[in-house]
């Protein structure tokens, strides 16, 4: 098989060895989609014209089609052949992978196995088929091509969903199907089969009253919008509910699950405060939402040491029931902050979901396994240490039942403001409570003034406060005031914020190392910044640097949450502040560089 992979079940894309081949503009993606969907047959000029421009083609239609085909050839190189013949074009893709063809093959095999009574095998095939969908098919083509092909593609998707739900219901997977069928009913309100399956899933999960309500809604919807009564499937589902015992039946047992929570870090022993942030994150992870074509994506962001991972892990443990314990966690970086390859991350995620991975699996195969594993029922995927600009395509589930939680210092574009939780440093009172939880309440309450000073020296960062609490716990003869005194000297403060392998300097250095080269080169202009707010014009760099370059450096530092923007006006004037520990590390880094 050659290295090209063609995708139309979502945006039209071409991939070569884990790298996306850029296709500029909807016209070129339309030409490619039209040739792929012709399955090796000739696509005449007239048909390409209609698919590109509808009823209003330009005067230079032939020349423009020739230009688009030529550009497409250059993008695909010699891996495939686009041949001009009979006033049209054909596309020979050889043995390249096409997601649509793979979907059709798996869906057909699943339907055949279902008809033969092999329900488990059918469910596996149909899950794999549906996992290939990345959102609405042909999402980046012209309207005429979409109008021609989207109806039958949508029908194929819905039919595969119906058959998978049928297989899962027969296997006893009623409880897991309820969220997915609820979403499918919202997406296809007049598709009676989904409504019948929802009634059965609710009833067999022990929710008989809700099943009757679902039937009544279906009956009223069909009567109001179509003027018809329930069909055979819905009637049979209703009869099954009625003939059951009047008492609520025992919930159908959930099938033996894969290992759960195996990659999720243990819950933080000393987790205090953060009540509002924790409630907000749990709400985002578990709340109902309208029908969607892709997973829910939630962003948890904040500066270094604010406790993002601890908050995410606490929320995940508390929400585990909503996902049936199906939670997979992986960091995108190693212990030194270096990025991990996608294959390594995918293996960890698959292990967390209890999916076997054969030795020698490549990134493409791992990606398909991951999509299939996250398409079965609700699942929470947590990606930690996500850098700005990271390519998350291979690590993102494509099923609406999945939820993706991203933990990053940067503000990522994948999540909107309402799906973002911003974690600030702790409030002083919370910081004191955290110190008391780790070091012992009596010691902290005995000298609250010193405890407040320690919180201030730590910039109220949970990571720094836990280190301080652990140091006090390890030295029972130390007073809180002695620790505060040791932290007073700025030259020694970062050295004091370390215990064993845990070092705040290491965390901060990891953030600095992840900065773009331009930002690292511009750091010396911040070495004289004090605790007060500063402006871009007040910064100076030996050798000179333009205002635009200075603004760019500061913007990068703000994006990395190493600098805070504290004042901004409509005329573009902004004031910034660098937290104390960041200032100390900047001094260290610039001294070492010089």
Lowest mean pLDDT among 139-143, 199-203, 395-399: 395-399
What is the number of other CB atoms lying within 10 angstroms of the CB of residue 542?
8
Q: To the nearest whole percent, how much of the chain has pLDDT over 70?
A: 93
pLDDT number for residue 251? 45
Lowest mean pLDDT among 249-263, 294-308, 314-328, 413-427: 249-263
Number of neighbours of residue 555 by Cβ within 10 angstroms: 15
The CA–CA distances, whole Å, from 187 to 157, 201, 235 equal 12, 18, 21
Mean model confidence pLDDT for the chain? 85
Closest residue by Cα to residue 394 from 426, 362, 423, 357: 362
Tell me the pLDDT band of 245, cut-offs 50, 70 and 90: very low
Span 371-388, mean pLDDT?
Answer: 84
- Identify the bridge partners of residue 406 per DSSP, sorted by sequence position: 299, 383
Q: What pLDDT sits at residue 337?
A: 72
Question: Please, which residues have CB within 8 angstroms of residue 149's CB and are 6 or more apart in sequence?
Answer: 33, 37, 137, 138
Pick from 50-54, 160-164, 407-411: least confident: 407-411
- pLDDT for 552: 87
Which ranges in 229-388 belong to alpha helices (H)?
Answer: 232-243, 275-286, 308-319, 342-352, 363-373
- How do residues 248-282 score in pLDDT, each as one tens digit? 444 444 443 444 455 678 877 778 878 888 888 98
Sorted by sequence, the CB contacts under 8 Å of residue 261 that are 6+ apart come out as 317, 320, 325, 327, 352
Which range among 4-8, 289-293, 492-496 shows the weakest confidence by mean pLDDT?
289-293
What pTM was computed for the model? 0.56
Model confidence band, residue 216 (pLDDT cutoffs 50, 70, 90):
confident
Nearest of 520, 420, 432, 424 to residue 468 by alpha carbon: 432
Alpha helices, DSSP H only, in 188-330? 192-204, 208-226, 232-243, 275-286, 308-319
**N-terminal to C-terminal alpha carbon distance within the chain:** 53
Q: How far apart are CA 580 and CA 177, in angstroms?
A: 51
Say what the pLDDT of residue 369 is. Answer: 84
Q: Estimate to the nearest angstrom the gap between the alpha carbon of 406 and the chain centroid.
A: 6
DSSP-derived 3-state class of residue 44: strand
In the 8-state DSSP scheme, what is residue 394?
G
Bridge-partner residues for 7, per DSSP?
13
Q: At what angle do helices 208-226 and 232-243 cross, to 10 degrees?
A: 150
Q: What is the pLDDT of residues 125-141, one digit of tens each?
A: 999 999 999 888 999 99
Place 35 in a pLDDT band, splitting at 50, 70 and 90: very high
Maximum separation of any 2 CA atoms in the chain, in Å: 92
Measure the CA–CA gap between 225 and 95, rounded to whole angstroms.
Answer: 46
Asked whether the beta carbons of 398 and 10 are under 8 A apart, the reply is yes
- The pLDDT of 208-223, averaged and rounded, is 86
Which pLDDT score is estimated for 591?
75
Residues 516-521 have a mean pLDDT of 82
Q: What is the mean pLDDT of residues 492-501?
A: 89
Q: Are 408 and 420 in contact (CB under 8 A)?
A: no
Report the pLDDT value the prediction gives residue 103, as an integer from 0 to 100.
94
Least confident of 21-25, 288-292, 400-404, 505-509: 288-292
- Taking residues 14-19, what's their average pLDDT? 85
Three-state SS for 493? helix
Which comes out higher in pLDDT, residue 218 or 372? Answer: 218
Provide the 10 A C-beta neighbour count for residue 233: 17
71 C-beta neighbours (distance < 10 Å), count: 16
**Confidence tier at 389 by pLDDT (50, 70, 90):** confident
């Amino acid at each position: 098989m050659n290295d090209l992979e063609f995708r139309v079940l979502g945006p039209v894309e071409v991939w070569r060895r884990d790298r996306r081949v850029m296709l500029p503009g909807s016209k070129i993606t339309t030409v490619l989609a039209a040739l792929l969907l012709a399955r090796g047959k000739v696509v005449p000029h007239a048909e390409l014209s209609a698919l590109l421009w509808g009823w209003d083609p330009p005067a230079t239609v032939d020349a423009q089609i020739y230009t688009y085909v030529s550009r497409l050839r250059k993008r695909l190189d010699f891996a495939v052949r686009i041949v001009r013949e009979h006033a049209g074009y054909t596309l020979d893709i050889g043995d390249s992978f096409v997601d649509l063809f793979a979907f059709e093959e798996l869906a057909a095999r699943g339907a055949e196995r279902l008809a033969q009574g092999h329900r488990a095998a059918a469910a596996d095939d149909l899950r794999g088929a549906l996992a290939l969908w990345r959102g609405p098919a042909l999402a980046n083509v012209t309207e005429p091509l979409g109008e021609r092909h989207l109806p039958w593609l949508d029908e194929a998707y819905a039919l595969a969903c119906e058959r998978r739900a049928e297989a899962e219901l027969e296997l006893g997977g009623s409880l897991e199907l309820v969220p997915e069928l609820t979403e499918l009913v919202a997406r296809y309100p007049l598709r009676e089969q989904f409504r019948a399956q929802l009634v059965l899933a609710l009833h067999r999960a022990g929710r008989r009253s809700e099943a009757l309500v679902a039937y009544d809604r279906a009956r009223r919807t069909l009567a109001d919008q179509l003027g018809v009564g329930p069909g055979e499937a819905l009637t049979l589902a209703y009869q099954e509910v009625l003939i059951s015992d009047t008492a609520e039946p025992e919930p159908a047992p959930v099938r033996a699950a894969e290992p759960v929570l195996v990659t999720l870090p243990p819950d933080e022993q000393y987790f205090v405060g953060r009540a509002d942030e924790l409630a907000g994150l749990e709400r985002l992870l578990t709340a109902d939402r309208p029908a969607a074509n892709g997973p829910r994506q939630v962003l948890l962001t904040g500066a270094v040491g604010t406790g993002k991972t601890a908050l995410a892990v606490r929320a995940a443990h508390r929400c585990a029931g909503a996902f049936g314990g199906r939670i997979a966690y992986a960091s995108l970086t190693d212990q030194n902050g270096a990025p991990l390859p996608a294959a390594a991350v995918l293996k960890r995620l698959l292990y967390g979901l209890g999916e076997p991975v054969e030795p020698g699996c490549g990134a493409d195969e791992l990606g398909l396994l991951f999509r299939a594993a996250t398409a079965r029922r609700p699942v929470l995927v947590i990606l930690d240490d996500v850098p700005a600009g990271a390519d998350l395509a291979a690590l993102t589930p494509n099923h609406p039942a999945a939820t993706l939680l991203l933990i990053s210092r940067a503000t990522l574009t994948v999540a909107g403001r309402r799906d973002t939780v911003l974690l600030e440093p702790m409030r002083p009172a919370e910081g004191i409570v955290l110190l008391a939880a780790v070091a012992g309440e009596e010691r902290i309450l005995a000298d609250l003034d010193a405890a407040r000073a320690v919180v201030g020296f730590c910039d109220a960062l949970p990571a720094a406060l836990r280190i301080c609490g652990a140091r006090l716990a390890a030295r029972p003869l130390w007073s809180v005031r002695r620790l505060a005194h040791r932290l007073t000297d700025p030259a020694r403060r970062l050295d004091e914020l370390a215990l064993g392998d845990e070092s705040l300097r290491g965390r901060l250095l990891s953030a600095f190392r992840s900065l773009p080269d331009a930002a690292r080169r511009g750091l010396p202009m911040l070495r004289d910044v004090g605790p007060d707010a500063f402006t871009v014009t007040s910064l100076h760099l030996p050798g000179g640097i333009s205002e635009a370059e200075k603004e760019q450096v500061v913007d990068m530092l703000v994006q990395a949450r190493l600098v805070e923007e504290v004042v901004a006006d409509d005329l573009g004037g902004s004031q910034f502040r660098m937290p104390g520990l960041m200032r100390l590390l900047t001094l260290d880094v610039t001294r070492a560089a010089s």
